Amino acid sequence: MNNTQTLPATNSPSDQLKERVYLITGASGGLGRASALALAKQGATVILSGRNEEKLNQVYDQIDAAGYPTAAIIPFDLAQTEEESYAQLIHSIYNEFKQLDGILHLACNIGVIGPTNSQDAELWQKVMQVNVNACFLLNKVCLPLLQQSKHANIIFASDSSARQSKAYWGGYGVSKVALESLSSILADELDTTSVHCNVFIPGPSLLPIRKKTHPGEEDAGLKSAEQLADAMVKVCLSKQTGQYFSC
C-alpha cells in the first residue's frame, strides 16, 4: 500500500483555482458539499452532480449567496451503467463551459458493513457500480476534455478504515481498494500528460458516512468537513501524481 502524505493545515492563498472548472460527484452533502464550497471560494466554477436535485440547489444557493463564481447543477445517478449516459453528461459540460480541469469522485454507496457471506448480491453490484465502475466511465468520457487543460486533476476519495481490508467491510471496503488501484493505473498511464491522478484519504472526521461506519464514536478530535475540504483544495493545487494524501 502506498505511503500517504499528510497535508499541512495552513490555508491556501485565495483565488488559486480561478477560471478552473471542476466536476464534483456527491456534491449534495458531506465532503462533496464542503469541497464544492471550498473550491468555489478559491475562484473555481464547480459543477454540482448528485441524485438529489433539491440538495444540489441548496449548495448552489450557498455558493451564490457567498458571491463565488456561479455554479452549475447536473443531476446524475451513478447507478446508471450505460456509457452513452455518461457521454451525454460530458457533452453538457462541453456545451456549457468548453473546458474541464478536474473531477472529484466524492459520491459513494456504503452498502452493508457486515460479513461477506451475508452481503446481498444486488446491493454489492450497486456499490461496485457507484464507487468504482461509474468512476471509470466518467474518467473515460471526460479524459479528452481534461487533457486540454494545462493542469487537470482526477481525485478519488478513499477511506482510512475500509482500505485496510479487514473483516466486515464488505463491498465498500473492496470498492475502496479497487478505486486506489484504478487511480494508480491511471496515474501511470497519464504520467506524461497534464492530467494528475491522486487519492484523498479523509481519516477520522465528522462526515455522515463516518457516523454509519463508527456509530457511537466521540466527536472530539475528529476533523470537520470544512477542514477536509481545505485539504482537498491543496490536492487540486498539487503538481504530483500517483500520490495518496490525507490531512
Each residue of 17-26: pLDDT tens digit? 999 999 999 9
Catalytic residue among 22, 86, 172, 244: 172
- Coil, strand, or helix at residue 195? strand
Place of cell 464544492: 36
Binned at pLDDT 50, 70 and 90, residue 204 comes out as: confident
Burial of 19 (0-12, 13-18, 19+ CB in 10 A): exposed
| Percent of the chain with pLDDT strictly greater than 70 | 99
The predicted model gives 142-146 an average pLDDT of 98
Classify strands 102-105 and 72-75 as parallel, antiparallel or unpaired: unpaired
Binned at pLDDT 50, 70 and 90, residue 148 comes out as: very high
Long-range contacts of 189-192 (CB under 8 A, 24+ apart): 190/241, 191/241, 191/242
Q: Is 94 a catalytic residue?
A: no
Which of 31, 94, 43, 49 lies closest to 70, judged by CA? 43
Sheet holding 45-50, edge to edge: 4-6, 244-246, 195-201, 152-157, 102-105, 21-25, 45-50, 72-75
Name the CATH topology of 4-246: Rossmann fold (3.40.50)
Burial of 227 (0-12, 13-18, 19+ CB in 10 A): middle
Domain ranges of the chain: 4-246
Asked if residue 207 has pLDDT above 60, the reply is: yes
What separation, in Å, do the N-terminal and C-terminal C-alpha atoms of the chain show? 18
Binned at pLDDT 50, 70 and 90, residue 6 comes out as: confident
Measured CA to CA, the distance from residue 63 to residue 40 in angstroms comes to 7
The DSSP element (H or E) to which 183 belongs, if any, is helix 170-189
State residue 2's pLDDT score. 67
Each residue of 213-230: pLDDT tens digit? 888 778 778 889 999 999
Measured CA to CA, the distance from residue 22 to residue 20 in angstroms comes to 7
Each residue of 160-200: pLDDT tens digit? 888 888 999 999 999 999 999 999 999 999 999 999 999 99
